[in-house]
Structure 1
């Protein structure tokens, strides 16, 4: 299925987990990729190439404006355009409010939320040039759970929803869609440090009694970044095994 043929997609947090799986699936569907992360991207690049895709890797601190400017320059040089932006990079420090310090609070905001503003500033102009664009921001279903130790994380993920809806309003005249996905707690290297009691607590809230894996989350993102989602914007799509039941 070449649903993303001739599209150029930028994926942050592409070195592992959801970002890596998404990059592979986008490549299989015909997209060219710009892989962004602050850690080594060699494995993802190899997997994308094995899937028949074309990609560049960009070492990028998503919390830094200079990092996003450099990424945009690399994308323009390699591909001349950007059609799809998936803001997937994030951190998940589990720290109770009694031990949470301001430095960790701010760092969580910089990576999980500020990065989405910075990415939009450099890639929206490219989308406008071609009168086509898809932006997907990754939120979290943690916002409706009673998990402790994630007040800072929940604050950023609620902010993602607000920013997504506001940006969708700003870009409606350009027919650039902006949506968010809220994954369930997903089995990735980023969540491997969580205790079993946290994992089990989330799974018990779901209709599907297992943890999500990256492949579960990628399908809805593929839809939101395709032509099929051309009239869907400003929305939050819960991908959580039936935990959030919103009418």
Structure 2
């Protein structure tokens, strides 16, 4: 039997890139998947359905409380509950490296609204449903860069450090309800968005590769196994933890 048979999962930022890979992986393991993205996730949902999985899409702005609430309500109405939340949506590949003093307050606020407020709002919306069932798996997506202090991306690095701290505090609050909260922290992944951003690759690729113990590019598929572990019963007694998947660039 698939590991996630009958489970209901919400994955934010899953219309494309790594999120779409996550969605396919959870559907392949039997989960009913709601793709929540500000972009059009219908093609991804249709592709999953064509391959025998169960998926739907609802356009969602994770930085907007009413949008998140509507998405969670629609998921519960369609499938009866929420068992898994993957907080994947984030601003990253569109960023340009710059000294911190060149980051405008407007850019800072926009990024924090998606990367930090978004996971908070999504967790806040799903936890009541998880509590009702005395079961839940929340996986926040951070980044190994929070351990490195990568320069010229201060707002992004700060946001991912906040996600790690949020994971630890939230895990303390919901553990008695049968809910685990963990963080998956990838390295520099060659997602379609990153590949389409040559400036980002030029800035980061060489130093990242030099720091890795495993000398190859990281692909979205490298994250599937660890993610499935965290959302399955294999990780039922694990919470508040950070799992870094980056080829040994960060060891903590």
- TM bucket (normalised to shorter chain) is over 0.9
Match for 1:133 among 129, 136, 145? Answer: 136
Query: Which range moved further: 28-37 or 139-148?
Result: 139-148
Give 1:198's aligned residue.
204
Question: Residue by residue, what CA displacement relative to the aligned partner does 1:111-169 show, whole Å, maximum 9, x if unpaired?
Answer: 01101110111100111111110000000011233533210001000000000000000
Distance in 1, Cα, partners of 2:56 & 2:113: 24
In the TM superposition, residue 31 of structure 1 has moved relative to its aligned partner by 0.5
Q: TM-score, normalised by structure 1?
A: 0.96
Pick which of 132-141 and 144-153 moved more.
Answer: 144-153
Matching of residue 241 in structure 1 with residue 247 in structure 2: yes
Q: 1:142, 1:154 within 8 Å by CA — same for their partners in 2?
A: yes
Please name the residue that 2:104 is paired with. Answer: 101
Residue in structure 2 matched with residue 149 of structure 1 by the alignment: 152
Query: SS of the counterpart of 2:211?
Result: coil
SS at match of 1:204: helix
Aligned counterpart, 2:175: 172
When normalised by structure 2's length, the TM-score is 0.94
Whether the 8 Å CA contact 1:24–1:51 is kept in 2: the answer is no
Instruction: Specify the SS of the correspondent of 1:11.
Output: strand
Q: How many residues align?
A: 246
What SS is found at the alignment partner of 2:171?
A: helix
Partner residue in 1 for 2:72: 72
Q: What residue number does 2:188 align with?
A: 185
Aligned to 1:63: 63
Distance 1:30 1:49 in 2: 12
RMSD: 1.2
What does residue 14 of structure 1 align with? 14
Q: Which runs of 5+ in 1 are unaligned?
A: none
SS in 2 for 1:191: helix
Which one is further off, 87-96 or 21-30? 87-96
CA deviations on 1:173-212 (whole Å, 9 max, x unpaired) are: 1120000011011011332321424112111111112221
Poorly superposed stretches of 4+, deviation over 2 Å: 144-148, 189-192
- 71-80 or 93-102: bigger deviation: 93-102
Structure 1 stretch displaced more, 49-58 or 102-111: 49-58
- How far has the Cα of 1:51 moved from its partner? 2.7
